[in-house]
Amino acid sequence: MSLSFIEALHLNALDELKRIPKSDLHSHAGRGGNISYIEAWSGAKIEPPGRPFDSLRDMQAWFESNIKIHCRGLQGYLKRIEASFAQAHADRIEVLALSFGLDEISALGGMKTFMGIIDELHRCFAPGTSFFPELSLGRESRIEDILIEMDEVLAYRWFASIDICNDEFAQPIRHFKPIYQMAKAAGLKLRAHVGEFGTPDDVQEAVEELELDEVHHGIAAARSVTVMNWLADHHIRLNVCPTSNILLRLADSYASHPLRKLYDYGVLVTINTDDLLIFNQSVSQEYLNLYQSGLMTAEELDHIRETGLGYVGSLHKHH
Ligand SMILES: [Zn+2]
């Protein structure tokens, strides 16, 4: 007999959790695989990071010298994308957003070949997963450079959403307004990394300036009742990545993660991996960690799981 998600959490049954449908709505495609998958392919022994990182730069340096070194060049890149799909299949991720940068499109020779290769990997390694590709723009990018490429990228109607990633302080987010207006006109879901390292006001400002539908991270909002109420009222969903936050020193532990506060104020949240090849916790493990820490009940986590799968809207406003 198979267990329900709630029963599986109560029984600490990771294998059962893996068999139950879930979503991963924030995963960087080239860093979304499982470390053991890369170990098996490369024959290398890879130790997960045993300590928190001091910065995104520190994290990137770890990734270069512990993961990328074993999967070099185009072949290594494609193996990492394959690993992301294989992980989604293994953890029964039924709704998967993977984000790609403009540099990844050009490295594969432009949109047409890029889409063909990625779609083929999806078909081969995660055929049961609904895949929603996301275009992720570096916050440090020159806006003019992005605008030159947007028409061609959007013309294929392949990307389902757009995002801004990397250093939140690189430039004001409103600089991206013309790009987000194009993306909105093309029907993309609008997301951005904000309120990870920044402030509650940064979250609200980004949502207002760019008309965001969702925020990646956004956990800083938990420091402002005003901003949490505003997010809840506007049904803005935060795609939260607990282990990423802990390993980047943005939360002290699962037991004290701001997810609790956001949920209590009625902010829509989902649970996601961010960079599984670095943070080394699958979606199933993220749920189990949050349950075992006592932060959330099994029923609340099941509600969050359903939110990610799109089953429910804003139903749990408590105040
Ligand atoms: Zn991210």
Q: What is the 64 CA–ligand 1 centroid distance (Å)?
A: 16
The pLDDT, as a whole number, for residue 2 is 78
Which structure tokens are listed for 11? 């029984």
The pLDDT, as a whole number, for residue 149 is 95
Q: What share of the chain is helix, strand, coil (3-state, %, to 5)?
A: 50, 15, 35
Q: What is the 273 CA–ligand 1 centroid distance (Å)?
A: 9
Q: What is the 218 CA–ligand 1 centroid distance (Å)?
A: 11
Q: What is the 194 CA–ligand 1 centroid distance (Å)?
A: 10
Q: Which residues pair with 22 in a beta bridge?
A: 93
Q: What is the 169 CA–ligand 1 centroid distance (Å)?
A: 15
Domains in the chain, CATH or no CATH each = 5-309 (3.20.20.140)
Condensed to tens digits (0 to 9), the pLDDT of residues 203-233 reads: 999 999 999 999 999 999 999 999 999 999 9
Return the SS3 of 93. strand
| CA atoms of 138 and 125, how far apart (whole Å) | 28
Q: What is the 63 CA–ligand 1 centroid distance (Å)?
A: 14
Provide CB contacts within 8 A for 15, sequence distance 6+: none
Nearest to 93 by CA among 262, 315, 285, 240: 285
* Rg value, the chain, Cα: 19
Mean pLDDT by 10 residues, the chain (319 residues): 91 97 98 98 95 96 97 96 98 98 97 98 98 98 96 96 97 98 97 98 98 98 98 98 98 98 98 98 98 98 96 46
Tokens 């995963």 correspond to 27
Which structure tokens are listed for 185? 């006109």
The pLDDT, as a whole number, for residue 312 is 53
Q: What is the 7 CA–ligand 1 centroid distance (Å)?
A: 30
The pLDDT, as a whole number, for residue 314 is 42
What protein residues have CB closer than 5 angstroms to ion ligand 1? 274
| CA atoms of 51 and 36, how far apart (whole Å) | 19
Q: What is the 148 CA–ligand 1 centroid distance (Å)?
A: 24
Q: What is the 11 CA–ligand 1 centroid distance (Å)?
A: 31
| CA atoms of 113 and 273, how far apart (whole Å) | 27
Q: What is the 117 CA–ligand 1 centroid distance (Å)?
A: 23
Provide CB contacts within 8 A for 190, sequence distance 6+: 161, 162, 180, 183, 184, 210, 211, 212, 213, 214
